[in-house]
Amino acid sequence: MAVISEETIDYVSILAKLELSPEEKEQAGRDMGRLLEYIDKLAELDTGNVEPLSHVLPLENVFREDVVTNGDESSMILDNAPEQRDNMFSVPRTF
């Protein structure tokens, strides 16, 4: 059974912003290997002449008009903030 390498797991966890313990990494490598092996089943199908279908409905051109509909909702917006100051969300420094 295919096992995904630790490097790949490390790389994907950077993308996904997840921190995995050594055991979790090992488990993730096995799980992902098994799932990908299963997903590889799709390769059996010849899809050469098939366009990828992202939107299942034939919908297009859904617009809104350029009219302001929202007022100052900042108290509701900030209501759930883990940390805030001066009506802003507070995060560890980025500068």
Partner 1 sequence: MTKEFETVIGLEVHVELATATKIFCGCSTAFGGRPNSHTCPVCTGMPGTLPVLNRRVLEHAVAVGLAANCEITRHSQFDRKNYFYPDNPQNYQISQLYLPICRDGYVEIDTPEGEKRIGIHEIHMEEDAGKLIHDEWEEGTLVDYNRSGVPLIEIVSEPDMRNAGEVIAFLEKLRLIIQYLGASDCKLQEGSMRADVNLSVREKGAAPGTRTEMKNLSSFRAITKAIESERERQIDLICAGGAVTQETRRWDEAKGTSFSMRSKEDARDYRYFPDPDLPPVHISDEMLEEIRSRLPEFRTEKMRRYREEYDIPEYDIEIITGSKHMADLFEATVALGSQPKKVSNWLMVETLRLLKEKELDPEDIRFSPSHLAALIDLVEKRTINFTVAKEIFEVMFEEDVDPERYVEEKGLKMVSDQDALRKVVEEVIASNPQSVEDYRGGKERALGYLVGQTMKAMKGKADPACAGRLLKELL
Partner 2 sequence: MDLLSLTAVELGTAIQQGQTTAREAIEAVLKQIDKTEEILHCYISIDRKKALEEAEGVQRKIEAGELSGPLAGVPAAVKDNLCTEGMLTTCASRMLGNFVPGYSAEAVLNLKRAGAVLVGKTNMDEFAMGSTTETSAFGPTRNPRDPERVPGGSSGGSAAAVAAGECFFALGSDTGGSIRQPAAYCGVVGIKPTYGTVSRYGLVAYGSSLDQVGPLGRTVEDCAVVLEAIATHDRKDSTSLAREDTDFSSALEENVKGMRIGIPRDYFGPGLNGEVKSAVLAAAKRLAAEGAWVEEFDLGLTEYAVPAYYTIASAEASSNLERFDGVKYGYRAEGGGSLHEMYKKTRSQGFGPEVKRRIMLGSFVLSAGYYDAYYRKALRVKAMIRRAFDEAFARYDCILGPVTPDTAPRLGESLADPLKMYLGDIYTIAANLAGLPAISLPCGKNGAGLPIGLQLTGDCFQEKKLIRAAYTYEQAVKKGGQTGDEGI
Q: How far apart are CA 21 and CA 10, in angstroms?
A: 11
Residues near partner 2 (CB under 8 A): 4, 8-9, 11-13, 15-20, 24, 28, 31-32, 34-36, 38-45, 47, 50-57, 59, 62, 64, 73, 76-77, 79-83, 89, 91-94
Quote the least distance from Cβ 80 to partner 1, whole Å. Answer: 8
Whether 37 contacts 31, CB under 8 Å: no
d(CA 89, CA 62): 32
Site residues for partner 1, 28-67, by CB under 8 A, read 54-55, 57, 59-67
Sequence-distant (≥ 6) Cβ neighbours of residue 34 within 8 angstroms: 1, 2
Among 5, 6, 39, 90, binds partner 1 (CB under 8 A): 90
We find the least distance from the C-beta atom of residue 4 to partner 1, in angstroms, to be 16
